[in-house]
Amino acid sequence: MSGQATVAGTWVSRVPHGGSLAEVRVVRPMLMGRGSLFGGRLRGVATLDGEGWTIPEAELTVGGWGEGFVDRRHPHTYFHELMLAGVERIGGPEGAVQVSLSAGKGFVAFGSDDPMNRVAFRYPVNHHWSQILERAVLIGGIAAGPVMAEGSLFNGDEPEEPGQWPNMERFGDSWAARLTLLPARGLEVAGSYAKVHSPEHRDGAGLDDYKVHAMARWEGMAAGHPLYAMAEWARVEEGDGAFVYHTFLAEGAYELGPTRLYYQFERTERPEEERVLDTKWRTIRPHLDNSTLGTTRWTINTLGAGREVRPRGWPIQARPFLEASYARATKVGDGVFDPEVWYKGTDFWSLSAGVTIAVGRHALDHRMGRYGVAEATDTRQGEHTGEMHE
């Protein structure tokens, strides 16, 4: 069992209708548990998220959007993960091949890791292009040597509020596939495809998403210090090509003893949806094609530093951090939405400072959303061993 929470203050130089805003919030309060039986052949994971209580009106985030919020990062559901996986070795006495079947509520086998425990504090704009999460999902996986394939069936609808469960009447209306290669020590390369039916209309009357994603990730040592790097690209098509969005993100971190320096670059296209009349932070739900007013492209550079603190004699660890982002929003295409008018400018600065407190082993480094055979893929150890975790 492990847990974590972050207390952070964020200031943004430009918000809708102009002006600046600063807030202090408790974000990502989570309890995480893992367990296994029968020599690791049956595994379970549960992650509880309290953001529905701590940020019910979402978190101030440059470029953030999704699930009815805009310029804010929405709270996740209370049951972020609740998954059970069965794993078995086949193909000889050494178990050269592993197969798995995972089911529950959690992450679809698609795209990259959840930003929750990645290097930057600021959630990327591409969160809904590069991950599919909080669905009722069935995942089949097979891994042999340096190759792993996963396929998922799930419900297309996104949550509309933290306490909402997936619409089980829609289970199986969407699917995804991911192929992962581990060609060298510490290196992971993956490609994903997904067809998501009506993600922003719970009853299924909205547009479908067709998602393509590619990623390369590496962890190793450079000049005697840990180095991490990841780059991803995605393309999302809605309405038989009526709307097309692209994203590219690259990030890296270098550790000098207990200090971590990191940088993230992102360029993501975001749909601009019709706003609720009485607030500048909400969009009309359910979302339909005729409520899309245009597209903006967000180009963001983020630079930060954090430090690992482990008080002697205490079963906790802390990561204080300081982070700065510079963003620019530009209009794409012929839509009616103009960011220069809406924000009274197109340049944004964001500063965040805070501390993450964690209890438990690997609480800050857990790769969330990996089940069955994918749980054994650990580039931090440098290779895919095929070993079962006891």
pLDDT at 288: 64
Query: What is the rounded distance in angstroms from the CA atom of residue 357 to the CA atom of residue 318?
Result: 5
B/e letters for 107-120, b = 16+ CB within 10 Å, e = fewer, are bbbbbbbbbbbbbb
C-alpha 95/C-alpha 144 separation (Å) is 9
Residue with tokens 């009526």: 242
Tens place of pLDDT per residue across the chain (390 aa): 899 999 999 999 999 999 999 999 999 999 999 899 998 899 999 999 999 999 999 999 999 999 999 999 999 999 999 999 999 988 765 568 999 999 999 999 999 999 988 999 999 999 999 999 999 999 999 999 899 999 999 999 999 999 999 999 999 999 999 999 999 999 999 999 999 999 988 999 888 999 999 999 999 999 999 999 999 999 999 988 889 999 999 999 999 999 999 999 999 999 999 888 778 899 887 766 667 899 999 999 999 999 999 888 788 999 999 999 999 999 999 899 999 999 999 999 999 999 999 998 666 667 889 999 998 655 433 333 334 333
DSSP 8-state assignment for residue 103: E
Dist CA 214 CA 235 (whole Å)? 9
Tell me the two tokens of residue 223. 């000049």
What is the pLDDT at residue 382? 37
Q: Say if residues 83 and 45 touch (Cβ distance below 8 Å).
A: yes
How deeply is 93 buried, as exposed, middle or buried, from its count of CB atoms within 10 A (0-12, 13-18, 19+)?
A: exposed
User: Is the CATH code 3.40.50.300 the one for domain 2-377?
Assistant: no
Asked if omega into 286 is within 30° of 0 (cis), the reply is yes
Rounded Cα distance, 321 and 307, in Å = 7
Amino acid identity at 220: G
Is the CB of residue 175 less than 8 Å from the CB of residue 151?
yes
DSSP 370: -
DSSP code at position 372: G
pLDDT of residue 374: 94
Residue pair 185/382 in contact by the 8 Å Cβ criterion: yes
Residue 28 exposure: Cα atoms within 13 Å on the Cβ side? 23
CA distance 253 to 244: 31
Angle at alpha carbon of residue 223, lines to 217 and 228, rounded to 5°: 20
Token representation of residue 12: 């943004």
Q: Which pLDDT does position 239 carry in this prediction?
A: 83
Which H helix or E strand runs over 54? helix 51-54
* Cα three-residue angle 383-111-326, rounded to 5 degrees: 105
CA dihedral 101, 190, 376, 221 (to 10 degrees): -170
Handedness of CA 44, 215, 272, 119 (dihedral sign): positive
pLDDT value at residue 377:
57
Token reading at 342: 């809406």
Domain ranges, ordered by start, for the chain: 2-377
- pTM greater than the 0.85 cutoff: yes
Residue 304 near residue 324, CB atoms below 8 Å: yes
**Beta strands at 225-238 and 377-378: parallel, antiparallel or unpaired:** unpaired
d(CA 21, CA 89): 54
Tokens of residue 58, six digits: 């979402």
* Parallel/antiparallel/unpaired status of strands 147-154 and 135-144: antiparallel
Closest CA relative to residue 306, chosen from 354, 263, 260 = 260
